[in-house]
Amino acid sequence: MSQDLLSKEVAERFRVDPSTIRRWLYAGRLKGHRYGRDWRFPLAEVERLEAEARGEVA
């Protein structure tokens, strides 16, 4: 089973405001799915974005 992170948790990992995570989501930079009132992001997707931010090929 894959682990999902809440938008708040992703924001903490990237040290940004949760609204930035939503902007990345709407811009297609980050993939996630709606769960109730919040968004959830697969851990693998967050790690891919982290690698991209470091300049690594994912």
For residue range 35-46, list pLDDT tens digits in order.
899 999 999 999
Round to whole Å and give the CA distance between 28 and 36. 20
Phi first, then psi: give them for residue 13, nearest 5 degrees: -65, -40
Look at residue 54 in the predicted model and tell me its pLDDT.
85
Give yes or no for a contact between 46 and 13, defined as CB atoms under 8 angstroms apart. yes
Q: What are the C-alpha distances in Å from 48 to residues 36, 37?
A: 25, 24
Round to whole Å and give the CA distance between 56 and 17. 24
pTM of the full predicted structure? 0.84
Token code pair at residue 57: 């090929």
